Structure 1
C-alpha cells in the first residue's frame, strides 16, 4: 500500500511540475467570482531573453492589469509536435483553463485539433493562419513596420554595406521581416546588402551565435536576427561591431553593440482578449496589431546608434502610423531582378502573407 501511495504522489507531483503558475490566486475575495484561468504554451524557456520572454512579459502584464480576475498558468519549452502540444493544453484544461494562447507557429495544427475536441475552451494561436467560426482564432502583428525602421538604423550604421541576418527557418514570416528590414536599409543606403544564414531552429543559443560569427567573418558589420536568443548580439559585441535585436529589450546582454530592436507588446492583446472572455463578448478573430496600436514597436535608439538615425526613424514612423507610408510599396524587385510589386502598388495584409521570395539585395536562399 505504501508503494502504491508513493507512486500516486510521484505522478501528481510530475504533472504539477509540467505547468508553471503565475501569481494569481485560486479565488478572489470572499463572495467574489472565481478568477478566469488562462493558459500559455511556450516553445522556449521563459528566460530566453527573446521570443518566449516577450510572450511571458505579456502574461505578467495581464496579471498586473486584471489582478484577482485572472489566474495564469504556462508550460515552457514545449516541442512542436502534435502530442506534446496537446498534452500541454490538456493539463491546462484540467487545471480549469478557459482560454489558451499557443505561441509558436509549429503549434498550429495541434491547436486546431484541440479546438475541435474542446469546444468550450477558447484558443488563440500566434503567427498561424488557421481558425474556425466558434473557438479558434489567431493573432500576429505588422512587424514589417518596425522591421523597416530597424533597417534604416542598420543601413545608416554599416560602413562595409554588408549586414548580416540570423534567421530561424525559411518561412513566410521571416521573408516578410527580412524583406522589410532590407528595404529600410536600402532606403538610406542603396548599396546595402543583407546576408542571411538559417539555423533551422527557433531556439539554439550555440547555432545562433555561430551563424552570427560566420556573418561577421564574411565582413558584415551589423547583425540583425529573427531567432530567440541574444547570441547574435553577443557575437557582434565580441567583434566590436553592431547589433539589432528582436522580440525584447536585450541591450544589457550586449550594451556596446545593441542599437535598437523591433519588439512585441503582447500584453495589450492578452488583456483585451481575456477581458472579453470575462465580459462574455469574446469572439473569434484574426488579429493583426500595428505600431499605432502599440502591439509592435521599435525600442528607443541607444547611444551607439548612428547620428541622425533617430530623426530619420521618427519621420518614417509618423508616416507609417498616419497611413501615409507602407513599407511594401512598389517598385520592389526580387533577388532575380523581377518586379514583384509594381510602382505605386501597396501590398495588403493578405498579399504580404503570400510572400515567398526575398527582395533584391538579400543574399541567401528561400529553402
Structure 2
C-alpha cells in the first residue's frame, strides 16, 4: 500500500543571527511568495520581491498561481472579508489530485464513475481537509481536519482531528495544528491499523459445525450439517450408505450476516482445515468450504447475506485427520469496495479471522472439561 504523503508548502522565514528575518535563496534580502516577516510596499520597494513575484497588500505573491497558506486570500484572489481582486484560472484537476485523488466509485451494477464533487480551495489548501496554515475566515472557529490521504479517512482506526482558526496578522486567519487525528500505521497492510476498506467489522455465522461419517470400508468423510427448526446443527438425515455422503437436500449450511466499514461487492468464504490453529499453513488440507457473495450497501450496518450453501468433502484422509487431531476454520474475503479499492491479499483471498475447533468429543459430551466455550456457531471480529 502507498503511504506517501501529499506535498504542500507553507511560507517560512529563516533564522539569521538568532532572529527571524525575511530571507530566502536568491538575492540577499529578497522575499519569496508568502514569506513570513518579509514585507514589501507597493510602488516603493517592490524590488524586495524575487523576480516574477508581485508586491500585493504588503506580501510578495505569484500573480500566476493560487494563493498560499496564510495569505488571507482564496483561490480567486479575493480577500476573506469580501474585498475585490483579480480573477484567477481554475486549478489543474489532474495536478490537484495527482498524489491524493478522491476515490473512484464502483457501483453495484458494475459501472465505474468518477467523482463529480471535487473539493474547493487550491491544491495546497483543499477545503475538505482544513490543513494547518491554510486560510480560514472565522477566528476561533473549530472544525474537523484530516492530514492524511482521502482513501484512509474514517476507515479502521483512522479518525479526524480538530483544528481551530487562528488570527494571522492583518490578513485574516489560518488553521492551527490538527490535534488528535489518527493516521494509518506505517507498514501495516491489513486490519484496522491499515485504514483501508474492510479493515474493521464482524461476520456472524450461525452454524460452523461439520459432520463426519465413517463407512464400512474404513474411510471417514466430511459433509455439512444443516440447521433444524430450532437452529441447532444436525447431520444429514440420509447421507447415503456409500461414500461420499450427501448433504441434506434443500438445506443450506448456515445463515450469516455482515457488518463492515465500507460498501462494496464482497465474496466471503468459510474454509475448514485440518491442522494446528496456532501454526496455520496454506498447505493444510481442506475439510469443507462454503462461500457467499453479495453487494453490501450501507457501511457499519448489519446486513443479512445469502446463506452459506451445503457442501460435501472430497478428501477422506483430510476428514480423518480433522476427526483425530482437530483443526480450524478460516474466514476470508475477496472483492471490490465502492471506492474501487481491491479487497484481497495480493490477488488471493484475504484471511481476516480464524476459528479454533473443539474436540469432537465435546459434541457427544458438551459438559466435559474443556468444552465450556464450545458452540455450533461463531463470528469473526476484525
Q: TM-score, normalised by structure 1?
A: 0.24
User: Which of the two has greater strand per residue?
Assistant: 2
Q: TM-score, normalised by structure 2?
A: 0.24
Computing the radius of gyration from Cα coordinates, the structure with the larger value is 2
User: Which of the two has greater helix per residue?
Assistant: 1
Instruction: For CA contacts below 8 A with separation 6 or more, give which structure has more relative contact order.
Output: 1
